[in-house]
Amino acid sequence: MTEKRSDRLPLIGAQVFIEPGQTAAQVTDWFRTLKECGMKVCRIRLFEAYCKAPDGSWDFSLFDRAFDAAGAHDVQVFATLFPDMEGNGIGGFKFPVDEAHAARIDAFIEAAVSHFKGHPALRGWVLINEPGVEGVLPEEPYTQSRFAAWKQAHPHADKTPEGYPALVHFDRERFLLGYNTDTLRHIAERIRAVDTEHELHVNNHQIFKNVAEYDFPAWREFLDSLGASAHPSWHFGYFDRRRFGAAMAANCDIIRSGAGPLPWWVTELQAGNNTYSAFKPFCPTPGELVKWVWTALGDGAKGLIFWTLNPRSVGGEAGEWSLLDMQGGLSPRARAVQEMTQALADHEDYFAGAEPCVSPISVLYCRESLWAEKQVQLGDTADRDFEGRQEGGAMKSAVAMYEILLENGIKPQMGEMSEYDWSKDSYAGKCIILAGQVCIPRRYYPLIRHFVKKGGKLFVEGLSFYYDEYMYNVFGGDFDLADVLGGRLQDVYCTPGDHKVKIGGRKLWVHLWEGVLLNDASGESLPLIHNKYGRGTVTWVPSMIGLGAIRTGHRKAFSKFVMKELEPIVKELPLRFKRHRSGITLQVMKAGKGYITVVSSNARHRRKVRFETGLKVKKLLYTYSPDEVPGKAKRRKVKVHAGATVVAYWE
């Protein structure tokens, strides 16, 4: 791709929803509003159904009007290809239904790309909207024929390495992982056959559930940027509203890890009310929008696009999701966005070129863990006493560790195990956290051994390593990593709900599973093992202490335990909180000779956050508070009100 634009600042924009029945004046007003609010990018869905004349020929005039209005107001357009498919009014196309449908899709792509590729407002193409089907393989002929062919080409082992029958192979899951990639690659190739200039992009969705079918490193081969839909009312079902800030941060980090060297975006962010079109309907407050935007920007997002500027007029989302009010005026949410774009412009020298600080601590999840826990679900999946046993337990455990670090002013990385760089000669000062990752394939064993041997810190929590890729329980035989971890799992006690256990000299809340380890060196049965291997160290707690702390709200003891275990690493960070601050999260960017911090509060009361750092606040860049009392940043402390966000520059 030829680089067409160089953006000094991250871009903020919104989806302009185009549909028949709108007037030219309405469309012009929407793009004028974008410009007045400092929003320089938009997204437009190219509905195939709206691109045809009555005689069946192509007619793009509805969208020509929108592109022309965008160009007239200096707004760049991401055009989303939206092939026609029965029942796809909201989420859209994922896979062809049959061969004839696949041919029609290719014809639409060629026609749409050929028509718009020369338009000066076009920035790039979104291949399709929100790939991912939550692991449910479509029953249509096109998919089923390819699944049958895949199974013939991928025969699986009859036995585990120990000689036991191999009963689990994750065929559907492994096929879907490649099938998503192949579908996106095909669309990318069809676009590139016509347009070699413009950016290729895709936005995943429902990240905490769908991520197991996303092979992000493979997507990098044909994408120019990676994006995400992040709608708390749709996609954050694992979390209550007070934790949406941490969930947004985790969502962003998962995408940043998946993007690797590519730029990444929040391609869709909930902008307004969705009373009838969400799992958890609500309307975000201006303060929540501010928090989510700065979380993404602080984590290095190239840009962010709200869904939507104007609401669609008919159908399941009619009148909802809009950044504007029902009369087309600026809502309080839109005015907050306007203030944020102005703050970026006013402090361009600080934000231009700022990059997220890459943390030495990585919370990793393993897609096979998500596959395994789904495989073993039984009838009752709603009893809260068994939350860690239900689908989502592995991801919730990882996010619990991630969140407690955020509340200590430590910004960890979060990504899939395959995305981690296992090739270094030294991992001194690096830490990997595996929390509740119940299924870890053996291909990772030598990589983990190398990581610890070369100086890394490994923190293992919950029933991590319980299964291998065949769902063989590795602790029943010779555990290949026993010398690295210092022992093996001896027993597990399951107590519904939450209870206290003394671990490492502290009483910690444990959810559901309390594990006991057999220490190979001493022969003792212990709740915790510290082990040295090579130049590295291991902390192993086979109990679900992360979810226990989050569920009960007793985070302080858990925080102290984690911080003590990671002390040699965290003390080297340029900025962190002096002590745990529940409900407060931090993003950190390197900016020139200094740092930019984003402090956001989900707490109920005003908080004073003191930092452990040799730096001092030089300038307050932005502050938002629901009570209209501005936050403060001075010397080594930040005052942040309930629900507020404070952005400051440190030197």
Output the domain CATH number for residue 630. Answer: 2.60.40.1180
Does 356 reside within a domain? no
Query: Of 346, 369, 397, which closes a domain?
Result: 346
Mean pLDDT score across all residues of the chain? 95
Find the range with the poorest average confidence among 25-29, 475-479, 499-503: 475-479
My answer on whether 238 and 368 are in the same domain is: no
Phi first, then psi, for residue 416 (nearest 5°) are: -75, 150
My answer on whether 537 and 589 are in the same domain is: no
Query: With 0-12 CB in 10 A as exposed, 13-18 as middle and 19+ as buried, what is 152?
Result: exposed
Does 115 reside within a domain? yes
Inter-residue contact 296 to 304 (CB < 8 Å): yes
CA distance 396 to 544: 11
My answer on whether 526 and 600 are in the same domain is: no
What SS3 class is residue 207? helix
The CATH number of the domain where 294 resides is what? 3.20.20.80
My answer on whether 538 and 629 are in the same domain is: no
pLDDT at 39: 98
Which of 289, 177, 188, 276 has its CA nearest to residue 230?
A: 289
The reply to whether the predicted model has a pTM over 0.95 is yes
> Quick check: bond before 597 cis, omega within 30?
no
pLDDT grade for 98, boundaries at 50, 70 and 90: very high
Does 274 reside within a domain? yes
Which of 405, 343, 431 has its CA nearest to residue 586?
A: 405
Whether the predicted pLDDT of 6 surpasses 70: no
My answer on whether 508 and 540 are in the same domain is: yes
pLDDT at 2: 36
pLDDT at 379: 72
pLDDT grade for 165, boundaries at 50, 70 and 90: very high
CA distance 54 to 34: 33
My answer on whether 341 and 416 are in the same domain is: no
My answer on whether 370 and 266 are in the same domain is: no
Tens-digit pLDDT profile for residues 207-227? 999 999 999 999 999 999 999
pLDDT at 4: 44
Whether the predicted pLDDT of 557 surpasses 70: yes
- Residue 453: partners with Cβ closer than 8 Å, 6 or more residues away: 484, 533, 534, 535, 536
Quick one: average pLDDT of 250-275?
Answer: 97
Inter-residue contact 467 to 492 (CB < 8 Å): no
Inter-residue contact 587 to 411 (CB < 8 Å): yes
My answer on whether 291 and 426 are in the same domain is: no
Does 2 reside within a domain? no
Which of 464, 522, 468 has its CA nearest to residue 489?
A: 464
The CATH number of the domain where 433 resides is what? 3.40.50.880
- Residue 107: partners with Cβ closer than 8 Å, 6 or more residues away: none
My answer on whether 213 and 65 are in the same domain is: yes
Amino acid at 216: F
Higher-pLDDT residue of 413, 630: 413
My answer on whether 130 and 243 are in the same domain is: yes
Does 646 reside within a domain? yes
Structure tokens at 648: 């400051």
- The HSE-up count of residue 536 (CA atoms within 13 Å, CB side) is 26
My answer on whether 171 and 297 are in the same domain is: yes
Structure tokens at 211: 């991520």
Does 3 reside within a domain? no
Rg (CA), the chain: 25
pLDDT grade for 176, boundaries at 50, 70 and 90: very high
My answer on whether 563 and 595 are in the same domain is: no
Does 643 reside within a domain? yes
pLDDT grade for 89, boundaries at 50, 70 and 90: low
Inter-residue contact 496 to 388 (CB < 8 Å): no
The pLDDT > 70 percentage for the chain reads 98
Query: Of 346, 379, 413, which closes a domain?
Result: 346
Whether the predicted pLDDT of 235 surpasses 70: yes
Does 180 reside within a domain? yes
Domain total for the chain? Answer: 3
Give me the domain span that covers residue 555: 361-570
pLDDT grade for 1, boundaries at 50, 70 and 90: very low
pLDDT grade for 363, boundaries at 50, 70 and 90: very high
Query: Of 518, 536, 570, which closes a domain?
Result: 570
